Structure 1
């Protein structure tokens, strides 16, 4: 009878004329191997309050006034720690030196009258937790949150309480050191997440992960999630932990760089999914400092990223491949077979995309190279527009000479070739790069007016006293308030466009907006003093350096006495 064996319950039903189902609803029936059937739910011994006898002193006081004491079926559940009727914590009585197998409350709880009232007065009032109420309702056949209902009752309770321990007490909390009240609090906290399913659980796990964003070294899963991780990975009972193990594994794999073959909660990682700067540099045989700077520019890691910051494998390898293909700026004239001024002009008009490293925006660190594939593409397109010559032909000259004769920048001639403005474009066999091209300077002169309307990119950023990179960031923002529009000139090849700027638009921008360097020049001050005065007066920029590389202020916000 004490063990709730089926035959004993059947005999009791026969003697008492009470339906067997009613008796079984109040008794965990043993199925073997520390497993029980409770109201159709399979639960383990840890789910039950045994070996403790649990009671509510207020309930026993009511029993004493009306008749014999009786236990309540929910008191047998370890998760039930609060009397839902009286709103006070349940008390736990350990086994005495003698073995009362039937747990008769008359003997186990000797207090009566004033003794019980003293226990009641000592109790701190509290409402039953939503976690506890969920368990009781589920055992009463009511549906609850979808994710929790999809777990076994054991798994639902354990996932909720373990997650609550991690959130409330931290990863280093020793589970055996927790009191019943600690577990009750953990259940309250954890239920706020598990009741919202995977989304809620992920929210809690990612918040825990974020606490280690600034940690030194490379904190692993055990350090970040220790008490939860170890409880799920090394349970002595070898119970199936349920879906929370899969969710924790996914969060770990999605956020911590690990090599292929690493075991995470019993499952081996089939392939590497994330890299750190160090692991990517080692794999690709690159200098980690150069690689780190390029990863920052590519937006894969923040500027002050910790060493363990995760980088998606494929995107990281793409950046690494660019490093390997990089041609330094100093080598570009040779690589393109052109002059250094033309190289600068190609950057000005975005015909070349710079690869930065060393910290973009910091003085002394500018573009250091270009992807060799981009160079090959540019030269290949130029050569594709030309007819091959076996030898020089009179009247045709190199790009640089044609630019000189037509009094235009060399990049304008390059634009004319790419935009199919010129009909007579040739390439000398056996020569490489831009130096191999030959054009008719008279033809360049005919198209000069159309292709040079307004201001060039170089003239625009010089007028505004900003760098070309800042100019293009302003263009990219168009039509925002603080931005610049560009006037594209299109030739016979509509895929190629020549960037030009309307002088009126540039002049209007100069009137409406300014930046510290221009203010300093206008008033004969140092830039640092200008910035200091702006801050003291509380003048806020309309567009910040973090957004485009320079602080831009509305001129109407600057009082006349600010810099005098």
Structure 2
């Protein structure tokens, strides 16, 4: 054993300790000492177990103390560091890393010491002095022994100048986490569940994406860039899957308005490439699963497409274009219907994702649609009756465009909805071969009872009329015959208050807007509806309380009513409202019309 005995510093690396012994005993480079004691220098440079044991024997220290501060090779480019398996990329080699302030203190106290934490690539800031560590690339073959006395010749004022140039910064939370974990302390659960390599690499790569963007080339990043990336990424990885998803979705949202159909490689760039083609980190860890799910949940990909090495067994999302191709539909028509169904926004980007099930359901509806102009023939009735069916929501129009959108029109109706309505009417009607004098068509019965034709249809569907027949060989409303006396008898019960057409007419609004107000109930600006429930089958007839309609009209108004009241052009009314700062209580984008509170309008604005 060497004498005199010099203790091993708990913060020192084994290589540094060997270099210090060489200076204290022989004042020669560490290579000479190692060879004198039959320690192969190249083995000592990589902290080989046999080299550490021999060094411990000759120095009289515990080999466990040396091993605790060294990354011990256990395989090709794989090391054991305090029970954690890490790769070569986790280590700072081949760079010699040091803190000039620590070296200045060492110079005052004695020989310089290389701290074991400096051997970790993620350690970039001195925790004691809070300055960036300096990195020196190897220039000679023996620089791999990191002898600080030789590699950093600066002393005194020169060293002080290096300290001043370094600047100040706190230790990054990622660096703190890694060192604490190697000291045996628990950290955030998700990070602790990853290998140290995976936790560090995924945090830094995510930080690079967020701080520098997808186009960043990783080799161009400096040590300071990586330090900043680790700080940014740790804000998210420390919160586990929730935080990581939040970060990835924030990046995804940046491409909401992008032209074309950007894929995962375009959106996530350097992060995607590192996850998909990592050479140094064969298994990126759980972040790959999270990233894969974010991609497949937000980007339309065909079945069989490989996402980070995993094949997509079935398509999960469509774009308008891919859905149109699959369903053999015109993409413009399909887009209009998807907008009307609320599946996509008014002017979506080309890559806007559509859930497969939802998209196919809408597409099948498009295939079943009947144009409004063809409804009279499909239902076998007059155009006024078709309008009444729409007004009472016995059939629902498919609109192109959202409420308030320019050119919003009803274009079609689902063929299945028509079939269901006609089927219900036929189901409650007996079939008769010939006409009879006491039974008349629906429109004629409505005329005699002084009700609307749609009210007669409500009576049929509600089971009020016992004598309803359908002429054999004919279909639809035109084939029905009813007893006008029965219609008269039930008219009072089926027509209390106002019909939708009467209520919406009193408010001077189109029926589409009227039903939007009904659908908003019980919000502030909305209309309550009274349903006449027909006991036999539960059919409901929509009616409105006149008092509620009157009350709504007294509380809320729109520009057309204001213009009529003050004999102004609608454009002039809109201009005066905007200039005065009066805001609507519900907007055109919500229901198709701007509504204002009556008591919020001053008469002087329109005088």
TM (norm. structure 2) is: 0.91
Provide the residue aligned with 1:222 in structure 2.
265
Answer yes or no: is 1:536 the counterpart of 2:564.
no
* 1:87/1:125 contact within 8 Å kept: yes
Match of 2:56 in 1: 13
Number of the residue aligned with 1:139: 182
**CA–CA separation in structure 1 for the residues paired with 2:362 and 2:507:** 33
CA distance 1:363–1:266, change in 2 (3 Å): closer
Q: Is the 8 A contact 1:79 1:157 kept in 2?
A: yes
Q: Tell me, in whole angstroms, the C-alpha distance in 2 between the residues paired with 1:362 and 1:111.
A: 73
Which residue in the other structure is 1:28 paired with? 71
> How far apart are the structure 2 equivalents of 1:24 and 1:449?
96
> 2-side partners of 1:454 and 1:390: how far apart?
38
Task: Assess if the C-alpha contact under 8 Å between 1:293 and 1:359 holds in 2.
Answer: no
311, 314, 323: which is aligned to 1:280? Answer: 323
2:133 — aligned with what?
Answer: 90
Per-residue displacement from partner, 1:187-217 (whole Å, max 9, x unpaired)?
1111111111111111111111111111101
SS at match of 2:605: coil
Aligned to 1:182: 225
Residue from 343, 362, 365 that aligns with 1:322:
365
| Alpha-carbon shift at residue 487 of structure 1 (Å) | 1.8
Matched, 1:307 2:307: no
For the 8 Å contact 2:442–2:457, the answer to whether it is kept is yes
Question: For 1:561, what is the secondary structure of its paired residue?
Answer: helix
Are positions 1:298 and 2:341 aligned together? Answer: yes
Out of 59, 71, 94, the residue aligned to residue 51 of structure 1 is 94
Answer yes or no: is the 8 Å Cα contact 1:249–1:265 preserved in 2.
yes
Distance 2:531 2:330 in 1: 40
Separation in 2 of the partners of 1:203 and 1:336? 51
* Contact in 2 for aligned 1:418/1:493 (Cα 8 Å): no
Residue equivalent to 1:345: 388
1:373 and 2:416 correspond: yes
1:425: which partner in 2?
468
Matched, 1:37 2:105: no
Contact 2:261 2:350 in 1 (8 A): yes
Of residues 465, 490, 496 in structure 1, which corresponds to 2:508?
465
Where do residues 515-534 of structure 1 align in structure 2 (5 Å cutoff)?
515-534=558-577
* Residue 387 of structure 1: how far off its partner (Å): 1.6
Contact 1:297 1:360 in 2 (8 A): no
Give 1:151 deviation, angstroms. 0.8
Q: Quote the Cα distance in structure 2 between the aligned partners of 1:353 and 1:526.
A: 33
**Cα distance, 1:96 vs structure 2:** 2.4
User: How far apart are the structure 2 equivalents of 1:131 and 1:28?
Assistant: 19
Secondary structure (helix, strand or coil) at the match of 1:327 reads strand
For 1:474, which of 517, 530, 537 is the aligned residue? 517
The Cα of 1:363 is off from its aligned counterpart by 5.1
Matches of 1:253 and 1:362, distance apart in 2: 32
Tell me which of 425, 428, 446 is aligned to 1:385: 428
Q: CA deviation at 1:111?
A: 1.1
173-182 or 107-116: bigger deviation: 107-116
Q: Does the 8 A contact of 2:459 with 2:465 survive in 1?
A: yes
SS in 2 for 1:99: helix
Asked if 1:416 is matched to 2:420, the reply is no
Note the alpha carbon deviations across 1:117-140, whole angstroms, 9 max, x for none. Answer: 111121111111000000001111
| CA distance in 2 between partners of 1:425 and 1:182 (Å) | 82
- Does the CA contact (< 8 Å) of 1:290 and 1:358 recur in 2? no
TM-score, normalisation: structure 1? 0.98
Query: How far apart are residue 238 of structure 1 and its match?
Result: 5.7
In structure 1, the gaps of 5 or more residues are none
Give the aligned partner of residue 22 of structure 2: none
Larger mean Cα displacement after TM superposition, 135-144 or 113-122 = 113-122
Equivalent of 1:243 in 282, 286, 290? 286
Q: In structure 2, what is the Cα distance between the partners aligned to 1:365 and 1:94?
A: 67
Answer yes or no: is 1:265 the counterpart of 2:308. Answer: yes
Q: Measure, in 2, the Cα distance between the counterparts of 1:556 and 1:100.
A: 84
* Cα drift, residue 270 of structure 1: 1.2
3-state DSSP of counterpart to 2:506: helix
What is the match of residue 452 of structure 1? 495
- Give unmatched runs, 5+ long, in structure 2: 1-43
Q: Which runs of 4+ in 1 moved over 3 A?
A: 358-365
Query: Displacement of 1:236 after TM fit?
Result: 2.7
Q: How does 1:463-502 map to 2 (within 5 A)?
A: 463-493=506-536, 495-502=538-545
CA distance in 2, matches of 1:485, 1:416: 22
Displacement after TM superposition at 1:443 (Å): 0.7
Contact 2:403 2:591 in 1 (8 A): no
- Partners of 2:340 and 2:401 within 8 A in 1: no
Which deviations, in whole Å up to 9, do the C-alpha atoms of 1:434-455 show, x marking residues without a partner?
1221111011011112212211
CA distance in 2 between partners of 1:91 and 1:362 (Å): 61
Checking the alignment, whether the CA contact within 8 Å between 1:360 and 1:366 is kept in structure 2 is: no
Aligned-partner SS, 1:4: coil
* 1:60 aligned residue (68, 85, 103): 103
Q: CA RMSD in A?
A: 1.3
Q: Residue 211 of structure 2 aligns with which residue? A: 168
1:122 to 152, 156, 165: 165
CA distance in 2, matches of 1:195, 1:32: 30
Q: Distance in 1 between matches of 2:154 and 2:377?
A: 98
* Distance in 1 separating the partners of 2:144 and 2:338: 68
2 CA distance for matches of 1:326 and 1:494?
A: 28
**1:286-316 CA deviation, whole Å, 9 max, x = no partner?**
1111110110111111102111111111101
Deviation at 1:101, TM superposition (A): 4.2
In structure 2, the partner of 1:80 is 123
Quote the offset at 1:364 in angstroms.
4.5
